[in-house]
Amino acid sequence: MAGARRIVPVGNGGRRMRGRTFLYVLPCVGEDYAKLGIGTDPMDRLQAFSPRYYELFDLQQGWLVEAETEQEARGWETQWKRQLRVHAAPAPLTVPARAGGHTEWLRGALAELGSLRDALELQGYTVHSSLHSWVRERISQQRELLASAEQAATSGFGTPSQWPAAIAHPGLLRMRDGLDAYVALQLPIQQLLSAELRAWHARNSLLLTFADDRW
């Protein structure tokens, strides 16, 4: 391999990808059950599998490896699927069919996947060993968009004090799940939302430990 790759201890079948390509492993919470796949933006894949990806997947145990080319990433994925075919499992029932990738779920393979990742790390590939850190950094960069998102929702539903429950509209469900992501990942956004939106979210959040002092 030409040149050493940097190690980072942090944090689309059939279609040609553009840009940097990642191989990702997404373990489900509380199970030795994981999604193996590749993509140019793992964040898009997480959200495709579930709008509440932070509850479906154990982000602390998940990880990414950066490939030098799409072909290289596909090669890893194909080789690993063959090597681990005995672990093949159906996708969770909660994952929508439109998310794709239903042939790449594995049960009981986390230890072997970890060994395969470690082998790539020893070769010098960039490894993001904590998906939690990677996701937290990604959505942290999007915090400044929250004010415009609130403004857009206000134009459709009125001020947040007038909004119905989140389950009343898909747009409000997306708002609730997106705000829950910031709380779940312990990212403060209190300065970016109106008091009315904070109150609406407090009423609609599905998190068991919702703490207003994070706002």
pLDDT tens digits for range 62-86:
999 999 999 999 999 999 999 999 9
Check whether residue 189 and residue 176 sit in a common domain. Answer: yes
Query: How much is the average pLDDT of 26-31?
Result: 96
Eight-state DSSP code of residue 57: B
Please indicate, yes or no, if residue 15 is contained in any of the structural domains.
Answer: no
Check whether residue 150 and residue 134 sit in a common domain. Answer: no
Please indicate, yes or no, if residue 9 is contained in any of the structural domains.
Answer: no
Check whether residue 104 and residue 210 sit in a common domain. Answer: no
- CA–CA gap between residue 44 and residue 118 (Å, rounded): 25
Please indicate, yes or no, if residue 186 is contained in any of the structural domains.
Answer: yes
Write out the two tokens for 150. Answer: 């609130």
- CA–CA gap between residue 164 and residue 157 (Å, rounded): 9
- CA–CA gap between residue 75 and residue 101 (Å, rounded): 16
pLDDT of residue 14: 44
Q: Hey, is 208 helix, strand or coil?
A: coil
Eight-state DSSP code of residue 108: S
CB 76 within 8 A of CB 36: no
Please indicate, yes or no, if residue 10 is contained in any of the structural domains.
Answer: no
Q: At 13, is the pLDDT very low, low, confident or very high (cuts 50, 70, 90)?
A: very low
Check whether residue 84 and residue 170 sit in a common domain. Answer: no
- CA–CA gap between residue 123 and residue 78 (Å, rounded): 19
Please indicate, yes or no, if residue 11 is contained in any of the structural domains.
Answer: no
Please indicate, yes or no, if residue 12 is contained in any of the structural domains.
Answer: no
Instruction: Report the number of distinct structural domains present in the chain.
Output: 2
pTM for the structure as a whole: 0.85
CB 46 within 8 A of CB 24: no
- Domain with 102, as residue range(s), is 21-138
Write down the residue that tokens 């970890």 correspond to. 114
Please indicate, yes or no, if residue 8 is contained in any of the structural domains.
Answer: no
